[in-house]
């Protein structure tokens, strides 16, 4: 029996950083339903002059901490300075990056049911959502 679902590391690039709260709202909603568990988050900025800096969740104000309270405190720190340095290298000036470690908690019961049935995972890969949308758009429409 597994105890944890698979984890995706998602890196979101923001060419012109605008934080309106919609990403946090949706992450919190998905976490509240048990669909996902946000294990860690890292926010990086690269200024026009190339100077880089990182927002640490532990350094947020109490109000800001409350807004990210759905991010597990016991798993924060999965991202480290080496991860930040790697991401800084690929960032363009005057941009931001959000890195998220997201556990797919919905998969735990399914994987356990498959294991109980003697099923083993033979292959697993992710098809990005834009490619899925393109594939569905290319299907002939039925009348």
Give the length of the chain: 143
pLDDT confidence band for 142 (50 / 70 / 90): low
Angle at 41 between CA 39 and CA 44, to 5 degrees: 165
Residue 16 pLDDT class (50, 70, 90 cuts): confident
Q: Which residues contact 114 (CB under 8 A, 6 or more apart)?
A: 121
Confidence of residue 17 (pLDDT cuts 50, 70, 90): low
In a domain, 128, yes or no: no
Count of domains for the chain: 1
Mean residue pLDDT across the chain: 91
Whether residue 2 is predicted with pLDDT greater than 90 in this model: the reply is no
For residue 101, tell me if it sits in a domain: yes
| pLDDT tens sequence across 60-97 | 899 988 889 999 888 888 999 999 999 999 999 999 99
Rounded Cα gap, residues 126 and 106, in angstroms: 16
Range of the domain at 85: 7-117
Indicate if the pLDDT at residue 33 is higher than 90.
yes
Amino acid 36: pLDDT? 96
Task: Flag whether 129 is in a domain.
Answer: no
**Residue 130 falls within a domain, yes or no?**
no
Does residue 139 lie within any of the structural domains?
no
Across the range 40-45, mean pLDDT stands at: 94
Q: What is the DSSP code (8-state) at residue 106?
A: T
The answer, yes or no, to whether residue 143 has pLDDT greater than 60, is no
């Amino acid at each position: 029996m597994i105890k944890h679902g698979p984890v995706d590391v998602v890196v979101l690039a923001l060419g012109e950083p605008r934080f309106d709260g919609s990403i946090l709202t949706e992450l919190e909603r998905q976490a509240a339903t048990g669909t996902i568990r946000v294990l860690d988050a890292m926010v990086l900025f690269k200024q026009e002059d190339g100077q880089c800096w990182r927002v640490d969740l532990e350094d947020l104000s109490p109000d800001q901490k409350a807004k990210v309270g759905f991010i597990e405190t016991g798993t924060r720190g999965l991202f480290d300075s080496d991860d930040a340095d790697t991401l800084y290298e690929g960032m363009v000036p005057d941009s931001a990056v959000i890195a998220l470690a997201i556990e797919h908690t919905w998969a735990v019961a399914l994987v356990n049911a498959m294991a109980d049935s003697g099923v083993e995972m033979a292959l697993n890969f992710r098809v990005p959502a834009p490619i899925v949308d393109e594939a569905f758009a290319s299907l002939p429409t039925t009348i």
